[in-house]
Amino acid sequence: MFSFLCHNRVSCFTHCCRELELALTPYDVLRLRLATGLSSTELHDRYIIEELDPEDVFPRYYLTMVDDGKASCVFVNARGCQIYRHRPGACRTYPLGRGTRREQDRVSEQFILLRETHCQGFQEKAVHTVESFMKSQELEPFNRFNDRLTAITQHPQIKEGKQLTDAQRTLYKLALYDLDSFRSQLNDKHIASPLDIPEGVFEDDERLLEFGLDFIEKQFFDR
């Protein structure tokens, strides 16, 4: 149980939308596309930074911060988050942090409470459990898709040291983080699918992302 409420009358309003490294998941990018009306390719060009550290197997994607002296999120202004309905999972989860781990064929979760001194939300009276807080922040689809991603990034073959080729990294970005290009390349047969493409999958982004996750698992691990 923890006491917490964030609203636009707290003295720290939007402080947590600055000076942060906001890692994006595939489902976050899907929702950012809905929030902005941009294609996934345009989103990458304007708002997303790709990083690949030498020790990383998979590339990471981060939301751009603005060079305004406060390293603010591109989507924050004095009124708050401009994409609130579609804000990323990490923004919804705060002040909790959710860690996941693949164990054989299931993904387990662990939570931490980030009790940061600048956050006035802890002075509020609203009481939550982890479950009630997750529900209030509509995190179910974020966590469901993120768990599928964990099953890939923590696949036993990855833990045993499997590395990706440059072509596989390109495919990873395409199938999970750039759905518009994935759709058109499948449609034009620029890439071959190792799986039958289910009917109607091109008309529904969530189904296309589910297919992208199946596609990557099949391509990388031949499960």
Binding site for ligand SF4 (CB under 6 A): 6, 10, 12-17, 22, 73, 75-76, 81, 83, 87-88, 91, 94, 118-121
Greatest pairwise CA separation for the chain in angstroms: 56
Q: Which CB sits closer to ligand SF4, 28 or 205?
A: 28
CA gap 151, 161 in Å, rounded: 15
CB of 212 to ligand SF4, least distance (A): 23
Q: Classify residue 147 by burial, with Cβ atoms within 10 Å: 0-12, 13-18, 19+.
A: middle
Nearer to ligand SF4, 13 or 220 (CB): 13
Phi and psi for 108 in degrees, rounded to 5?
-105, 160
Q: How far is the CB of 172 from ligand SF4 (least distance, A)?
A: 23
CB of 125 to ligand SF4, least distance (A): 13
Cα–Cα nearest to 63, from 99, 35, 95, 98 = 35
Whichever of 145 and 215 has its CB closer to ligand SF4, that residue is: 145
Nearer to ligand SF4, 80 or 169 (CB): 80
Report the chain's C-alpha Rg in angstroms.
19
Minimal distance in Å, beta carbon 35 to ligand SF4? Answer: 9
Token pair listed for 216: 């990557």
